[in-house]
Amino acid sequence: MPAGVRTAEVFGDVADVSLFPEEEIAIASAVDARRREFATGRHCARAALSALGRPAVPLPPDEHGVPSWPDGVVGSLTHCHGYRAAAVAGREDVMSLGIDAEPHRPLPQGVLEAVTIAPERAALAVLADSYPSVHWDRLLFSAKESVFKSWFSMTGDRLGFDDAEVEFEAEIPFFRARVLRQRPGWAGKAPMAVGGRWLVCRGLVLAAVSL
């Protein structure tokens, strides 16, 4: 992430995380695994906010399930098996953030066709032949998720998997995403093309977008 962004990550869940009453209400009926995931995500978020010089505050999910970040702060959370992370920044430095982590393994059968368009599948086949150590299908899924989170924070609207096209640079950890459709109300809120960074390590694929 660029200068001005603060991050925190853990490889697993943190025990005995203190939640604010507003957060407890939000997960009152959640199963234990979801409670641990939620609590550890808030732990990471507050650690990142502290690094940004911000106090610990409640971060209940809004009606879309997105954390209610403090005024003047943009942020993003991600979680997958064995990993939780948060990224935050001041709005004076960053307009939006999107991060995503996934296990570094192939997508389940049939999912690739649902989350890609034909040009992406053709490009992935070439990448897989040239760089077979990377599960490019899972990385593309992660990249799109990071773009979608960033886009939603700017527009309040959700992109579908066929609304954006992602292209990877294999020699450097960079990707480009182009939004393929324009909808009413989007004009001027967000760029139609964004760039992001990716990483493969410790059994994970990670993608991040910051604008």
Per the model's pLDDT, the better-predicted residue between 157 and 24 turns out to be: 24
| Among 205, 196, 202, CA closest to 137 | 205
Known binding positions for Mg(2+): 100-102
Q: Tell me: do 69 and 103 sit in the same domain.
A: no
Give the residue ranges of the annotated binding site for CoA: 34, 42, 78-79, 100, 145, 149, 159
Residue ranges of the annotated binding site are 34, 42, 78-79, 100-102, 145, 149, 159
Note whether 74 and 105 are same-domain residues: no
Summarised one tens digit per residue, pLDDT across range 67-122 is: 999 999 999 999 999 999 999 999 999 999 999 999 999 999 999 999 999 999 99
Report phi then psi at 196, rounded to 5: -145, 175
Same domain, 132 and 79: no
Q: Which domain holds residue 177?
A: 98-208
pLDDT for position 187: 67
pLDDT, tens digit (0-9, with 9 covering 90-100), for 158-167: 899 999 999 9
**174 within 8 A of 166, measured Cβ to Cβ:** no
**pLDDT value of position 161:** 95
Domain count, the chain: 2
Domain boundary among 40, 66, 91: 91
**82, 11 contact by CB (below 8 A):** yes
Model confidence, pTM? 0.94
Domain end (from 74, 91, 108): 91
**Residue 183 in this model has a pLDDT that exceeds 90:** no
Task: Judge if 42 and 103 occupy the same domain.
Answer: no
